[in-house]
Chains A and B, each alone.
Chain A
Amino acid sequence: MNIAVREAPTAQQLRVVDCDIHPVYRTPAELHPFMSARWREHMATFGTHFRHGLHGQLPYPRMMAAGMRMDAFPEDGPPGSDIELMRRQHLDANGVEFGMLIALSRGGMEERNLDFGAALSSAINDWQLECWVKKEPRLRAAIVVPQENADDAVREIEKRASDPAFVQVMISPRSSDPLGHRRYWPIYAAAERCGKPLALHVAGYSGGHPSTGSGWPTYYIQEHYAMSTGMQNTLASLVFEGVLERFPKLKVVMIEGGFAWLPALTWRMDKHWERMRAETPHLKRSPSEYVRERVWFTTQPIEEPENPEHLADIMEWIGWDRLMFSTDYPHWDFDDPRQVFKTRLTDEQKTKIFRDNAKALYGLQ
């Protein structure tokens, strides 16, 4: 939280897989080599077209330094735009063996102009490849797709399917319809076909609905929380619509939405599903069974109980093989691998969460 952290002793060598790193471009011109003249002009003239009242900014202004770590600003450009600084400050310093890129900016996921969205997605994928993964072998990309346009999304997935630089398919959980809806199923079929997990990272731009079931909140502290309730809604939609039943090899990663809520949500889903199961006969198993088998969670921003041991209960209930460490570099609420777990974990538990679970899921070696 932008507080200077004591330098940790270097003797204890860290090795982690960071499942949430945010690369950004220094200027939009970085995308130009990957776009046609038609879309370069469109971007310059009309820009992105989102479902919010403010152009070119998030509707809930972030706190300190636009939601960034103050020490993550390079001399020139925004945090996350300088690969040298990222290496020095994060990959090297924190023992990152592999880093999962989550490219949030102008990915086309939320773009209302569907053709522009498809062009942006493709450009951002080329850019991830050329400007990041090819330069830094520790990094892996996610295939960004224009989710509201399943045809183009599937085309984009197929285009990248055989490239090992891309280890997952990313769409925004803050979609125009809940992600279980059928209009998104072709995306899941394509992800399943190419054996890449579906990555759902929380997002600032909406798909056109208020961030709570009772309208728009007032403050950023509320908007930040709505990322967690929104993830719960998204998971429930995937479960109850039968996505996990229909696509039996599909794996889902929920990123930056918290995880401590999961046990209570699965208890609630199970209880009320049992009561009302005649409504969803397409479910062959209880909601918790689907979740336990097919859904992974990243750890940042980690929930911090007053008594740290309480978090160990939650992790135990979720399963030690389903949590994957993440930092959210270079964002303000970065979790430092040296400080993140205030509860006592065994070496085996730590190894799983810090790297083995992610390596197994993504097939990293």
Chain B
Amino acid sequence: MKVPLHDAIDCDLHPALPGVPALLPYLDEFWADQLANRHIDQLPFTLSSYPPSSPLSSRPDWRVASGAPAADLGAIRRNVLGRFGVGCAICNPLHGALALFNDDMAAALCSAVNDWMARELLDHEPRLRASILVPGQSPDLAVREIERVAPDRRFVQVLLLAMGETPLGRRAHWPIYAAAEKHQLTIGIHAGSTYRVAPTYSGWTSYRVEDYVAQSAAFETQLLSLVAEGVFQKFPRLKVVLIESGFTWLPTWLWRTSKTWRGVRAEVPWIDRSPAEIVREHVRFTLQPIDAPRAEPEILLRTLEHMGSDRLLLFSTDYPHWQFDADDVLPDGLPENTIGKILRDNPRDTYPRLGAAPALGESPGTGEKEAR
């Protein structure tokens, strides 16, 4: 596939996040003091799921001389927006505040990251949008942050992690979904763990590659949690995007849950349609990583057919994470029509707030939107 693409919407981009000192101007006096006096401002706040020097965390040619991932605004413009022809990109800040146990400190840092994002990135680059970082472990504080940031419509999504303390469908999390639905914000669940519990049902893995592989299983169980608890019945306008989840596992999920549901539906009587139908209406998946053999493109095409809808995938580069080489951001062999949906139509249908983006709506790309 030749790049640049045309006005693609990149639904998963990771800008380099600032150290705590750069966040101090966005913190109140109490937290600024706390963080400085306790030398917390010297801590990296890097999630264990993405150590900076791991091959996963950055493509080699997307690193700066020091070895850190190159993801400041200049690098984003050069390596993503220009290179791939991205008209609009959603920034997902994977900040370590999410793994803190102190809810108030987590909330203060999340707020600071969101304000930093607005001032230091969004104000400077009209093609960028962002997800709201919230302390998901504390739904009341998460809702307060959503309410505070929501008036800025450049924030299009609320960001949660795939592995936390309790499954995301649990009712304790519902205030977050209510706030998101009210403000036309999508819920984005990104790969990563706070490691509150072991990443597998038989305990702690030894290797990082196992942890990363296990992310897709975590997404499977989170998706079923949302469906089984009736989140989509309670919040019928809610859209959920699974980000960096992989998607080739989805057909089996659809088949297995829809079959089991027929047998045990009496347990969850509020589920009024098959899980497959619910997911196809409410849930979307970012493109990268594409977990399928690159040398046999027909296998991926068969898998897309198994998914049973061409509306489910949203274009993503996952920049600077190393998911593909060179310009191979799109898989080979996709029909032209499907490509248009993945690049533009599906993201627009998923993120109501993208409609307000000035860079969109004027491009020729919008003309090919299909009747459903």
Q: Are B266 and A209 in contact (CB under 8 A)?
A: no
Q: Are B218 and A63 in contact (CB under 8 A)?
A: no
Q: A213-B193, A260-B255 are in contact. Are A178 and B200 (CB under 8 A)?
A: yes
Chain A residues with CB under 8 A of B246: 264, 268
Can you list 25 A-B pairs, Cβ within 8 angstroms, ordered by A?
A: A176-B203, A209-B200, A209-B202, A214-B162, A214-B167, A214-B221, A214-B225, A217-B221, A218-B229, A219-B267, A221-B268, A222-B167, A228-B220, A230-B217, A233-B217, A234-B200, A260-B255, A264-B252, A265-B249, A267-B291, A276-B208, A276-B212, A303-B255, A310-B255, A313-B306
Chain A residues with CB under 8 A of B199: 213, 233
Q: Are A177 and B248 in contact (CB under 8 A)?
A: no
Known: A208-B203, A218-B225, A258-B252. 16 other contacts (CB 8 A): A177-B203, A210-B201, A213-B214, A214-B193, A221-B228, A221-B268, A224-B260, A233-B199, A233-B201, A268-B246, A268-B289, A276-B55, A301-B256, A303-B256, A311-B255, A332-B263
Q: Is A174 an interface residue (CB 8 A)?
A: yes
Q: Is A275 an interface residue (CB 8 A)?
A: yes
Chain A residues with CB under 8 A of B68: none
Q: Is B82 an interface residue (CB 8 A)?
A: no
Chain B residues with CB under 8 A of A261: 249, 252
A312 to B198, CA, bound (A): 35
Contact with A along B185-229 (1 / 0, CB 8 A): 000000001001111111111111110111011101110110011
Q: Are A233 and B200 in contact (CB under 8 A)?
A: yes
Q: Is A333 an interface residue (CB 8 A)?
A: yes
Q: Is A345 an interface residue (CB 8 A)?
A: no
Q: Is A181 an interface residue (CB 8 A)?
A: yes
CB proximity to A under 8 Å, residues B250-265 = 251-252, 254-264
Q: Are A216 and B167 in contact (CB under 8 A)?
A: yes
Q: Is B122 an interface residue (CB 8 A)?
A: no
Chain B residues with CB under 8 A of A178: 200, 202-206, 210
Q: A175-B202, A225-B260 are in contact. Are A215 and B255 (CB under 8 A)?
A: no
Chain B residues with CB under 8 A of A224: 260, 264
Contact with B along A198-230 (1 / 0, CB 8 A): 000000001111111111111111101110111
Q: Is B292 an interface residue (CB 8 A)?
A: yes
Q: Are A272 and B202 in contact (CB under 8 A)?
A: no
Q: With both chains docked as a complex, state the minimum distance between the C-beta of B270 and any C-beta of chain A, in angstroms.
A: 11
Q: Is B124 an interface residue (CB 8 A)?
A: no
A302 to B115, CA, bound (A): 50
Q: Is B236 an interface residue (CB 8 A)?
A: no
Chain A residues with CB under 8 A of B308: 306
Q: Are B289 and A271 in contact (CB under 8 A)?
A: yes
Q: A63-B266, A305-B255 are in contact. Are A221 and B201 (CB under 8 A)?
A: no
Q: Which residue of B lies closest to A172 (CB)?
A: B202
Q: Is A293 an interface residue (CB 8 A)?
A: no
Q: With both chains docked as a complex, state the minimum distance between the C-beta of A234 and any C-beta of chain B, in angstroms.
A: 6
Q: Is A290 an interface residue (CB 8 A)?
A: no
Q: Are A221 and B205 in contact (CB under 8 A)?
A: no
A-B residue pairs, 9 tightest by C-beta: A233-B200, A229-B217, A268-B291, A212-B221, A213-B218, A230-B201, A260-B252, A264-B248, A303-B255
Chain B residues with CB under 8 A of A179: 202
Q: Are A212 and B251 in contact (CB under 8 A)?
A: no
Stretch of A7-15, A36-44, A83-91, A235-243 contacting B (4+ beta carbons < 8 Å): A235-243
A63 to B55, CA, bound (A): 45
Q: Which residue of B lies closest to A180 (CB)?
A: B206
Chain B residues with CB under 8 A of A237: 200, 202, 205, 210
Q: Is B351 an interface residue (CB 8 A)?
A: no
Q: With both chains docked as a complex, state the minimum distance between the C-beta of B96 and any C-beta of chain A, in angstroms.
A: 18
CB proximity to A under 8 Å, residues B27-69 = 54-56
Q: Which residue of A lies closest to B196 (CB)?
A: A215
Q: With both chains docked as a complex, state the minimum distance between the C-beta of B196 and any C-beta of chain A, in angstroms.
A: 7
Q: Which residue of A lies closest to B308 (CB)?
A: A306
Q: With both chains docked as a complex, state the minimum distance between the C-beta of A257 and any C-beta of chain B, in angstroms.
A: 11
A245 to B261, CA, bound (A): 39
Q: Are A236 and B213 in contact (CB under 8 A)?
A: yes
Q: Are A305 and B196 in contact (CB under 8 A)?
A: no
Q: Are B260 and A230 in contact (CB under 8 A)?
A: no
Q: Which of A173, A211, A241, A275 contacts B55 (CB 8 A)?
A: A275
Q: Are B202 and A174 in contact (CB under 8 A)?
A: yes
Q: Is B72 an interface residue (CB 8 A)?
A: no
Q: Which of B163, B204, B305 contacts A310 (CB 8 A)?
A: B305
Q: Is B310 an interface residue (CB 8 A)?
A: no
Q: A220-B264, A225-B257 are in contact. Are A233 and B225 (CB under 8 A)?
A: no
Q: With both chains docked as a complex, state the minimum distance between the C-beta of B218 and any C-beta of chain A, in angstroms.
A: 4
Chain B residues with CB under 8 A of A314: 252
Q: Are B209 and A215 in contact (CB under 8 A)?
A: no
Chain A residues with CB under 8 A of B366: none
A228 to B206, CA, bound (A): 21
Chain A residues with CB under 8 A of B249: 261, 264-265, 268
Q: Are B200 and A213 in contact (CB under 8 A)?
A: yes
Q: Are B299 and A272 in contact (CB under 8 A)?
A: no
Chain A residues with CB under 8 A of B174: none
Q: Are B203 and A207 in contact (CB under 8 A)?
A: yes
Q: Is A289 an interface residue (CB 8 A)?
A: no
Q: A213-B218, A215-B166, A221-B224 are in contact. Are A233 and B202 (CB under 8 A)?
A: yes
Q: Are B202 and A207 in contact (CB under 8 A)?
A: yes
Contact with A along B309-346 (1 / 0, CB 8 A): 00000000000001000000000000000000000000
Q: Which residue of B lies closest to A214 (CB)?
A: B163
Q: Is B159 an interface residue (CB 8 A)?
A: no
A246 to B216, CA, bound (A): 27
Contact with B along A280-306 (1 / 0, CB 8 A): 100000000000000000000101111
Q: Are A303 and B252 in contact (CB under 8 A)?
A: yes
Q: Is A270 an interface residue (CB 8 A)?
A: yes
Q: Is A232 an interface residue (CB 8 A)?
A: yes
A176 to B198, CA, bound (A): 11
Q: Which residue of B lies closest to A228 (CB)?
A: B256
Q: Are B220 and A225 in contact (CB under 8 A)?
A: yes
Q: Are B206 and A221 in contact (CB under 8 A)?
A: no
Q: Is B148 an interface residue (CB 8 A)?
A: no
Q: Which residue of B lies closest to A211 (CB)?
A: B201
A212 to B229, CA, bound (A): 15
Chain B residues with CB under 8 A of A272: 56, 209, 212-213, 289, 291
Q: Is B143 an interface residue (CB 8 A)?
A: no
Q: Is A347 an interface residue (CB 8 A)?
A: no
Q: Are B291 and A264 in contact (CB under 8 A)?
A: yes
Q: Is A279 an interface residue (CB 8 A)?
A: yes
Q: Which of A229, A264, A265, A333 contacts B263 (CB 8 A)?
A: A333
